Structures are given as structure tokens and as C-alpha cells.
Amino acid sequence: MPQAARPRADNDKDRSAKAQEQEFKRARGAISCAECRRLKLKCDKTVPCSSCKRRGCESICPNGSLTTGQGTRFILADTDRLHRKIAEMSDRIRHLEDALAMLQSSVTREPHPLLSRELLAVKSGLELHSAAMRKADYTSAEDPGGDEEEEQGIDAFGTLAVRDDGAATFYGRSAGSESLLLDEQPVPAPPALRPDGGGALLPPSILRLSASFPAAPGDAGHDRELIEEYLPPWPRARELCELYLEAAPWFFGAVTRRQLIEELLPLFYSEAEAARPPPPPAPAGPDAGLASS
């Protein structure tokens, strides 16, 4: 057995040396990159090459290559892998921000320019949801006929009304969805929720933001200070966040618990910043091992 295993180890060593030599040649521009070789494309042997730039995969040139999945779908375009990669990069950004904050606090009390509120929000995924909602609104505005066709299709099925006692009434195809308005009665608001002056609880600008959630309007920047004035105290905010994390993910997973607790709340509450878990200790390098010995 040892004699049979030795040639196999030699072959693996030879293949590894050959692969390393090919990587060096690709880095020097002596041979085509791995992706152009896989797709049998003409490569200009630059790093990154024009073919990889044109296909949007210049980050893997010259030695990396994409792996095809089902059909022509690439693994790097898979949603799950992209989300995992984004989560890993967000964690890495958070650790670097914590280390930078600790270093800055040891030098001066002034906050570091890279730790401003706008830059801290870069790693948040809320902008992705807002962009998707804005795109959907823009598409619906361009094609208003689609909504009309959808409403006509809904009315074609008729209307079935179910009352509180469990009895049901089918109005048929001749009755539109407007028949549901016949039994509706205005529900008075509880006295505790009505303001003394009879007006709205919140300013109109904040009410517009609530109505457009999760896609914020483009002119919402000047309302930030006004929103912060209406934020609840920290105990109530923490209670509301726990209620959201228990109920909302069942039908709307805008943010995860980690994003809410570690990214969003510390932007507005100092108590949340103090309650954040400490960053993991940095791995000890070889110098630390020599010093301990």
C-alpha cells in the first residue's frame, strides 16, 4: 500500500505544480484567462481581459471561472449565494467599523468621518427593498392598463361576503367588489388614540411616509429630524421591535433581527448602541504567539 500511494502523491504534486505554473502564465498575460478558455473565447491576455469586462465578471480574471448551473444560469447569479455573500460582507464591514470606532476613541473624542450616519447605513439592505418598490411603482405608472385589466378579472369572479356570524352571501358575477362597501360601517377610533384637538396624530409628511412604506419618497431627507422627534422612548421601541420580529417575518421580511438590533436601532438610540454585542476578538497573529512563548 505505501508503494502504491507514493506514485499517486507524486502525480498530485505534479498536477499542483502545473496548475500553479498556468496561473503564473495567466497573470503575466502569456496564455488566455481561465474563463475565456472555458468558453472558447478570444482573449486579449490583459488583466482583466476585455471579454471578462464585457461579461461583467472581471473580478475572477485571469485564474477564476464561473461554474454553470441549470442551463445557462451561473452559480454567481444565484440569489441565495448572493445574499450569503452580502451578509458576510456586512459582517466584515461591521467588524471594521467597530475596530475603527475603538481606535478613534483612543485618539480623540471626535467621531471619525467614515463613521457618519450615512456611511453606516451603506451595509443595510433596506435600500434594496426601496429600490425594488420604486421600480414597481414606475412600471405600474408606465402601464396603467394592467391594473384595469386585473380589476376586471377580479370582478369577473363575483363577490362572496362573509359576515361576523359566519353566514356567507354570494352576490354573483353581476355584482362587483363595490358590494362589499354596503355592509361597511365606519369604526370609531378609541378615545385614547384620538388627539385632543381632533386633528391627526402625526404631521402629513410622516403620514405620507407611512403610506408609501417600504418605498420612501425621494424628498424624505428633510423629514428625518421630524421623524426623530416622534420616536418612542427606548423601552417602548424595544417592545415594538420584538413584536415586529415575532409577527412581521411571516409575511414581510424587510430586515432581519441582526440588521434591526445591530444596525438600525443604534442609529437613533444610545441604549441600543450600548446593548450591541461586542465584536469578536481578532485572531492572534504569529507575533502574539512568539510574545506569549
| Tens of pLDDT, residues 218-232 | 655 666 778 888 889
Do both 65 and 105 map to the same domain? no
Please check whether residue 95 lies inside any domain of the structure: yes
Between 13-22, 213-222, 223-232, 242-251, the lowest mean confidence (pLDDT) is in: 213-222
Give the structural domain span for 245: 223-278
Do both 64 and 34 map to the same domain? yes
* Interval 91-113: pLDDT, tens: 888 889 888 888 888 888 888 88
Please check whether residue 51 lies inside any domain of the structure: yes
pLDDT value of residue 189? 47
**Where is the domain boundary, 123, 156, 188?**
123
Please check whether residue 284 lies inside any domain of the structure: no
Do both 237 and 274 map to the same domain? yes
Looking at the 3D structure of the chain, how many domains does it have?
A: 3
Classify strands 168-172 and 159-162 as parallel, antiparallel or unpaired: antiparallel
Please check whether residue 217 lies inside any domain of the structure: no
pLDDT value of residue 74? 52
**Where is the domain boundary, 69, 96, 123?**
123
Between 92-101, 136-145, 197-206, the lowest mean confidence (pLDDT) is in: 136-145
Please check whether residue 162 lies inside any domain of the structure: no
pLDDT value of residue 198? 45
Residue 239 has pLDDT above 80, yes or no: yes
Please check whether residue 143 lies inside any domain of the structure: no
Please check whether residue 53 lies inside any domain of the structure: yes
Q: pTM score, two decimals?
A: 0.32
Confidence of residue 255 (pLDDT cuts 50, 70, 90): confident
**Where is the domain boundary, 61, 77, 93?**
77
Please check whether residue 7 lies inside any domain of the structure: no
Long-range contact set of residues 167-176: C-beta below 8 Å, sequence gap at least 24 = none
Between 149-153, 177-181, 279-283, the lowest mean confidence (pLDDT) is in: 177-181
Between 92-101, 209-218, 252-261, the lowest mean confidence (pLDDT) is in: 209-218
